[in-house]
Structure 1
Amino acid sequence: MWSKKMIVKHELGNTGTIYQAAKMIRLAVFVDEQGIDPKLEFDPLDATLVHYVGYVADEPVTTARLAPSGSTVKVQRVATLPEYRGQHLASELLRTILAAQPAGTEVTLNAQQTAIGLYERLGFKPVGAPFEEVGILHQAMVLTIEA
């Protein structure tokens, strides 16, 4: 477990410093490591969604973006830099995001097969059959925020 406290920051849109930190993490993980086309990874939705970044010792280490729609929010683009994995930083980031959602909110996401356990530990349940997205097997998952 990382010995320093993680600070979570967020901002709307793709013009600020938090988005730039999120973009750096996503580039390292999704484009460089997983081989996803940057044109697919960085889409027009980046300009309209909320981007979260977890910082340890002022270094951006984990990220996610949130797409709210009424009483539903979709968590997307969850990534942690390789050298910070295994320290539960993505879990901490997601717990922060979930804690900010009002009771009754349905939180959805499409988990890469390798990350299903992370989301299950946070209370997410699989929905439907696995499917392929950008050449990677995914599983739709859902969690309803309790009162």
Structure 2
Amino acid sequence: METYIVETEKQLKDAYQVRNTVFVKEQKVPPELEIDDLEKEAIHFVGYHKEKPIAAGRLRIVDNYGKLERVCVLKEFRGQSFGKTMIRNMEQTIVDNGKNKAKLNAQTHAESFYQSLGYDTVSDEFIDAGIPHVTMVKEL
């Protein structure tokens, strides 16, 4: 998979398409919650496999850390380390922005995936968009 920081309208449209497929269609997140007022301040990422957009994520630099958000991979491409590749590229961008801590709110079903990448759970379970989540952090 080739991962890019979004620089063009096409790349942004591709990232939104992946997010819409995973979060709105598959997980039934209301569209108004998926695309929010933080989009313009975020650094967006898109991943392609054979020129097909298959992964996306966004990153916001907040205070002294990078906050990974909206990380997703199309269902038929999961389990092939594409999510790991996306996370690693997002983490490198955090470091490139002079920060050394990553934070994210993980869906509880993905908690073990993030733990395998070095993230520690720092919150109790909470509900976001009707889905159970936990907050996780990692020193980079």
Bin of the TM-score, shorter chain as denominator length: over 0.9
Q: Report whether the alignment pairs 1:112 with 2:102.
A: no
Kept in 2: contact 1:113–1:139 (CA 8 A): yes
* Corresponding pairs, count: 138
Code of the aligned partner of 1:135: G
**1:45-84 equivalence runs, <5 A:** 45-84=38-77
Measured in 1, the distance between the counterparts of 2:2 and 2:104 equals 23
Measured in 1, the distance between the counterparts of 2:35 and 2:19 equals 9
Question: 20, 24, 30: which is aligned to 2:23?
Answer: 30
- Cα displacement string for residues 47-70 of structure 1 (whole angstroms, at most 9, x for unaligned residues): 221110111111111111001124
Measured in 1, the distance between the counterparts of 2:79 and 2:43 equals 25
Measured in 1, the distance between the counterparts of 2:27 and 2:80 equals 20
Code of the aligned partner of 2:70: R
Structure 1 stretches of 4+ with a deviation exceeding 2 A read: 99-104
Report the TM-score, using the length of structure 1 for normalisation. 0.88
Aligned position for 2:133: 138
User: What is the percent sequence identity of the aligned residues?
Assistant: 33
RMSD: 1.5
Q: 1:106: how far off?
A: 1.3
SS state at 1:28 partner: helix
- Cα displacement string for residues 85-129 of structure 1 (whole angstroms, at most 9, x for unaligned residues): 111101111112213332752110000011111111110000021
Measured in 2, the distance between the counterparts of 1:11 and 1:104 equals 20
The structure with the largest helix share of the pair is 2
